[in-house]
Copies of this chain bind each other. A is one copy, B any other.
């Protein structure tokens, strides 16, 4: 994963992967048919455990929708943009279009589930009278877009302008809540 993250798929040498793993190139070809196979396996093995941990982390709590957004969701949003997971985002963006089945897998196992989870929370907020109906109901992506943005920014522009990702996320959540909360 480190190797692919640093150099991208095409520029990464299989031998380099082998070296970092402390094995010979030949061994990799005993376990993976091709370089592409290896790549896909690397991605999947990177994602799966983290995904499980995340689902566990967020869990099914009895929080209100706002508490959920200010709590577990904000925690997640603060953590991810500086975690190793951000390189995954860059890889998926860069290499995705060339590996459609990998994207399909990622879609099914990560993105669509995440989206569904967010929809559920928002729906709960609306039904419970906490939130107005608003654009985020139709476009839950609006809740996550700063997360992706921060992941990208920290990898591309950090040297030129270090982004306070925690502040960004807090600002984002408060901005959104301020817009959708039913005021009493």
Contact = CB atoms under 8 A, between A and B. Distances in A.
Interface of A: 7-11, 90, 92-98, 100, 103-104, 107, 111-112, 134-136, 138-139, 141-142, 144-146, 148-149, 152-153, 155-157, 159-161, 163-164, 167-168, 170-172, 174-176, 178-180
Contact of A179 (B8, B95, B155, B176): B176
A101 to B, nearest CB: 11
A47 to B, nearest CB: 15
Contacts of A148: 145, 148-149, 152
A160 B93 contact: no
B156 A97 contact: yes
B141 A168 contact: yes
Contacts of A90: 93-94
Contacts of A136: 171, 175
8 contacts: A93-B156, A94-B95, A96-B156, A104-B160, A112-B160, A142-B175, A145-B145, A178-B179
- Residue among A97, A136, A161 with the highest chain B CB neighbour number at 10 A: A97
A9 B161 CA distance: 25
Contacts of A164: 139
B94 A139 contact: no
A176 B172 CA distance: 10
